[in-house]
Amino acid sequence: MKHMFIASVLSVTALFAPVHNAQAQEAEYEMIGLFQSYLDLAEQFVDFTTEQEATVFLAIEGVAEIYEERGELAAAIPVLQEALAQYPDDLAVRNIIRFKLRDLYRDTGQADLALAELQAIIEENS
């Protein structure tokens, strides 16, 4: 499956972005490497998550995506904070939520709160 995806990426890249020089070809290979890295990470995620964790992850990503499309990314933060409170004893789910909160804080210019989320992840997982 993974190899089929990479072959598809190569085919699409060859059709829409013909390589005209060595620098462009190097950039293409770098992009393919990034796709491969992403696929490797995705496989690890699937291997190490439960159905509940995967469901929470997808729901959280969906919430953030909808708020972002509406131009209200900051409005997703209280929604995720409330979700975090609903899982006081599930460390894996809390990690998923905290990582997304970190992203939201960073993307809304709240670097101190993003760092605080990372610190909370470290403390909760120690």
- Say yes or no: 59 and 35 in one domain: no
Task: DSSP for 53-100, please give it.
Answer: HHHHHHHHHHHHHHHHHTT-GGGHHHHHHHHHHT-TT-HHHHHHHHHH
Residue 79 sits in a domain of what CATH number? 1.25.40
Residues 29 and 58 in one domain: no
- pTM here is 0.62
Q: Are residues 68 and 18 in the same domain?
A: no
Of 14-28, 29-43, 63-77, the least confident? 14-28
CA separation for the pair 40, 73 (Å, rounded): 29
Total count of domains within the chain = 2
Q: Is 85 in the same domain as 33?
A: no
Give the torsion sign (CA, 76, 77, 82, 86).
Answer: positive
pLDDT tens-digit readout, 41-66: 666 655 656 788 888 888 999 999 99
Q: Rounded distance, CA 76 to CA 88, Å?
A: 19
Confidence of residue 9 (pLDDT cuts 50, 70, 90): very low
Range of the domain at 108: 51-124
Contact at 8 Å (CB) between 77 and 69? no
pLDDT attached to residue 78: 97
Residue 52: Cβ within 10 Å count: 12
pLDDT score at 2: 45
Residues 33 and 60 in one domain: no
Per-residue pLDDT reduced to its tens digit, 65-120: 999 999 999 999 999 999 999 999 999 999 999 999 999 999 999 999 999 999 99
pLDDT recorded at residue 41: 60
